[in-house]
Structures are given as C-alpha cells and as structure tokens.
Structure 1
Amino acid sequence: MIGEFEYVLLTAASSLGDNAYGAAIREHIETVTTRRCSIGALYTTIDRLESKGLLTTWMGEATAERGGRAKRMVRLTPQGQCAAKDFYNTIMRVSHNVSWASERGKETA
C-alpha cells in the first residue's frame, strides 16, 4: 500500500492532468492540504513512485517563463491509478461507522 503523501501526490498529479509538473503539483498540494510541501520531499517521492511504476516522468519543453528551463512532467500509470484508488477505498473502509464528532471534548486518561 502507498503512504499518505504518495496518495496526495498521485491525486494532485491526476487532478492537474496535462499540467502536472513539479511546481504545479507542489502548489496544488499546499493549497489543498494547507500544509507546506518541500521541493525535496516532492521530488524524492516522485522518484520513488516512478521506480514503483506508479507514475512516469519526462522533460517537457523549455519555457521562457522558467528562464528557458524545461518542466519535469508527471503522469500516473494505470498501476498508479489503481494504487491511489486502493488507498482511498481502504481509508473509506476503515473509517466506516466512525464518528469523529463524538470524539471531541473527550479527555484522554
């Protein structure tokens, strides 16, 4: 099973579609999760997911807006889509019948 950040990254890349590249994925993750995403953690995870066969990357065209640098583009593989779906379904199953609202205000012993 993939981990939480791997799931978040795969989901961000899927959401961005043809516009999925490092900086856009990072921005999407930070916006949706409201948590900081370091560029090192992002690219380490991209590399790990690529080595697992869950996504593929390639260098896009150089752009003037990036000072002539190319973007590292990202796309989920069918295996990546299945892994993300499996993670989501697992979270939904383990969360079934859990009422987080009832846990508020309880003190721990």
Structure 2
Amino acid sequence: MARFYLGELEELILLIVAMLREEAYGVTVVTELQKQAGREISISAVHAVLHRLEEKGFVESRMGGSSSERGGRRKRLFRMTAYGQQVIEQLRDTRNTIWDIISNPSA
C-alpha cells in the first residue's frame, strides 16, 4: 500500500464516519466528534475534511432522500471505502506497535 498522510482531524473524522457507517453526514459527524472526542468544530470545517477524505479515496458519498425538516434538501451521506478501512487499520497497528514499545521499553 502506498504511504498516506492524515492530520489528526482527518483521522478523527474518518473514524467517526466508520463508526456511523451509512448514517454519516455533516451534522452527525459534528455531533459525534463533540460527544466522542470533545472537539468543537464548525459544520463547514467538517464538510471540508469530508470532501478532502473523498478526494483521497478514503470515503465515498451519495445523496440521501429529501425531507420536509430540511426544507426539501437532500443530505450527502458518507461511508468508508475499503481503502479507507485499510488506512485506519494500518494507523491503528502503527500506533499499537509504538504504544507497546512505550509500555515495554526493553522489547
């Protein structure tokens, strides 16, 4: 797999999208980011990161149905791609390896 680089916010949002599965869209990502990581972030910043993750091939999006509560507007729903799944697994493995070394410096 080619090397990839993710900033902390990109990684957190990618993890939130994975957690939300098929229900990830701007508002749910903002809500879960606050709930799970204690991060306050604007909806426009989340949308910028989601689109950047989509450009990198880590997530894909589709348009959901419209609703009267949204004034007839449709939601853009995001879901993790297989490549995105590989990326977060590799990130987890790398971090776990480093944490293992920290926890057991004689290893």
Q: TM-score of the superposition, structure 1-length normalised?
A: 0.82
Q: CA RMSD in A?
A: 1.4
1:16 and 2:30 aligned = no
Q: What is the percentage of aligned positions where both structures have the same residue?
A: 32
For 1:35, what is the secondary structure of its paired residue?
A: coil
- Match of 2:58, as an amino acid? L
Aligned length: 99
Distance 1:3 1:20 in 2: 19
Shift of 1:40: 2.2
Shift of 1:98: 2.8
In structure 2, the partner of 1:82 is: 86
Which residue, 53, 74, 98 being the options, matches 2:102?
98
Which residue, 56, 63, 85 being the options, matches 1:59?
63
1:6 and 2:17 aligned = no
Gaps of 5+ in 1: 100-109
For 2:78, what is the secondary structure of its paired residue?
A: strand
Larger radius of gyration: 1
Distance 1:63 1:94 in 2: 46
Contact 1:2 1:87 in 2 (8 A): no
Range with greater deviation from structure 2 (42-51 or 86-95): 86-95
Distance 2:50 2:27 in 1: 12
Q: Deviations over 1:4-53 (max 9, x none)?
A: 21121111111111211111111111100112022222111111111111
